[in-house]
């Protein structure tokens, strides 16, 4: 009896005790995680197994919970931004921009078109890296390491673009209330153009490597399917929902940051299985590339931030040379800027679903309550149902295809 792992009163322990077979065989318990290489993050699943078949699962989360919402209640707006990019570190700029847009909505700030377009570019780059990691890791979990190594270099290239824009690579902390700190340098555009030339070739090869690969198809088709109705019930959003056949995309439903100016389609799947999720992400990467090209082609000239000195943190060179800028700098850093009493919800299409910020302010320098609607946290509940009845090896690929980011799951 597997009482080494669970206390005897645990429901699995009871099930094992009651279902001892005549031939002496019994169900067993397997801990998938918390630090299993295939979980890609720290969360645990206690699996009830009949041989290699999964009968039930009990997920345990919270291993890296950092109380971001409580911390946010004690910080002014600028200091909250560094919390957001640590949630989904695969696509940090999307989280950054989502937070700035929430604050701008609260303060009624109109962002100039150029800044909006630049935001779109950086958000789509982030989406590409997010999908790139998810799909290449799914390849690794099915035994194909090559694809991962091949496309992973392009994540580094995107990081070089981030570095050129804001100085950071992973936890970007990009932007300001009202736009960007400074305009992008010519080198940033140069790197972006090189990326747009080189990456599609590699991505096409990556697709070819997997989409008609017999082993990959055997491992993913009809594995972990979820119906459209169940997906809605479980709160799935993003590519996981679209793979089930529902074309809900926040960029289309409630456009933000000028997404209405760009033409793109929302790829949808049919069966909601692991293969569909993979294909939807692949297709979304092409759409993202198309959006970036359109944004670059139509990029307007003009200011890169709104004229809101009360909220826009001045550039450092101004702070050192201009008295006004120094005063605003201190007022903003100390959180002594006027904040209206209000209640808003703002959502963006994150790398893996609807990322929402529900913000309540009471006029003080910090939020009264800030709730992060973290897509991973909400849809990870569906994982138990998706792996029930499948093999252990299926549980691994389903987890990969869901793209659960531990930092976002726990926040």
* Positions that interact with another protein (CB under 8 A): 61-62, 65, 67, 69-71, 73-74, 105, 230, 232-235, 246, 248, 253-254, 334-336, 342-345, 347, 354, 356, 358, 360, 362-366, 368-369, 371, 373, 377-382, 410-411
Q: How far is the CB of 265 from another protein (least distance, A)?
A: 18
Q: Are 16 and 27 in contact, with CB atoms under 8 Å apart?
A: yes
Q: How far is the CB of 343 from another protein (least distance, A)?
A: 5
- Looking at the Cβ atoms of 196 and 334, the one nearer to another protein is 334
- Looking at the Cβ atoms of 13 and 125, the one nearer to another protein is 13
Token pair of 304 as six digits: 């890169």
Q: How far is the CB of 233 from another protein (least distance, A)?
A: 4
Query: What does the chain come to in residues?
Result: 411
- Looking at the Cβ atoms of 63 and 189, the one nearer to another protein is 63
Distance of CA 378 to the CA centre of its chain: 13
Q: How far is the CB of 369 from another protein (least distance, A)?
A: 5
Q: What is the DSSP string of 142-159?
A: TT-HHHHHHHHHHHHHHH
- Separation of alpha carbons 288 and 266, rounded Å: 10
Token pair of 302 as six digits: 């003009």
Q: How far is the CB of 171 from another protein (least distance, A)?
A: 21
Quickly count: other Cβ atoms within 10 Å of residue 171's Cβ. 14
- Separation of alpha carbons 356 and 111, rounded Å: 20
Helix, strand or coil for residue 58? strand
Q: How far is the CB of 11 from another protein (least distance, A)?
A: 10
Token pair of 371 as six digits: 């709730």
- Looking at the Cβ atoms of 285 and 347, the one nearer to another protein is 347
Quickly count: other Cβ atoms within 10 Å of residue 324's Cβ. 11
- Separation of alpha carbons 230 and 219, rounded Å: 22
- Looking at the Cβ atoms of 115 and 409, the one nearer to another protein is 409
- Looking at the Cβ atoms of 148 and 380, the one nearer to another protein is 380
């Amino acid at each position: 009896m597997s009482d080494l792992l669970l206390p005897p009163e645990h429901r699995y322990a009871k099930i094992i005790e009651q279902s001892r077979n005549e031939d002496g065989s019994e169900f067993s318990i397997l801990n998938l995680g918390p630090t299993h290489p295939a979980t890609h993050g720290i969360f645990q699943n206690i699996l009830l197994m009949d041989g290699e078949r999964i009968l039930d699962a009990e997920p345990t989360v919270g291993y890296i919970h950092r109380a971001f919402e409580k911390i946010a209640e004690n910080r002014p707006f600028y200091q909250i931004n560094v919390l957001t990019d640590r949630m989904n570190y695969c696509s940090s700029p999307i989280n950054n921009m989502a937070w700035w847009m929430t604050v701008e909505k609260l303060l009624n700030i109109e962002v100039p078109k150029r800044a909006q377009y630049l935001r779109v570019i950086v958000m789509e780059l982030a989406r590409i890296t997010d999908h790139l990691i998810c799909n290449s890791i799914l390849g690794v979990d099915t035994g194909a390491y090559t694809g991962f190594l091949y496309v992973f270099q392009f994540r580094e290239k995107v990081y070089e673009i981030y570095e050129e824009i804001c100085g950071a690579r992973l936890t970007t902390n990009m932007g300001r209330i009202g736009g960007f700190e400074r305009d992008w340098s010519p080198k940033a555009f140069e790197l972006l153009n090189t990326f747009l030339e080189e990456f599609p070739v590699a991505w096409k090869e990556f697709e070819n490597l997997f989409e008609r690969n017999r082993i990959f198809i055997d491992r993913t088709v009809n594995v972990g399917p979820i119906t459209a109705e169940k997906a809605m019930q479980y709160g799935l959003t993003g590519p996981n929902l679209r793979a089930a056949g529902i074309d809900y995309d926040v960029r289309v439903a409630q456009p933000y940051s000028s997404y209405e100016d760009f033409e793109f389609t929302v790829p949808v799947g049919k069966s909601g299985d692991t293969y569909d999720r993979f294909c939807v992400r692949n297709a979304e990467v092409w759409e993202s590339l198309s959006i970036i090209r359109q944004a670059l082609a139509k990029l307007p000239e003009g200011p890169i931030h709104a004229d809101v000195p009360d909220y826009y943190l001045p550039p450092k060179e101004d702070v050192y040379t201009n008295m006004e800028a120094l005063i605003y700098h201190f007022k903003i850093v100390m959180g002594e800027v006027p904040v209206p009493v209000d209640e808003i919800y703002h959502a963006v299409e994150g790398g893996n679903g609807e990322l929402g910020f529900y913000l309540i302010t009471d006029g003080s320098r910090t939020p009264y309550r800030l709730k992060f609607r973290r897509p991973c946290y909400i849809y990870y509940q569906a994982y138990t149902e998706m792996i029930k009845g499948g093999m252990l090896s299926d549980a691994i690929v389903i987890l990969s295809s869901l793209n659960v980011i531990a930092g976002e799951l726990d926040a």
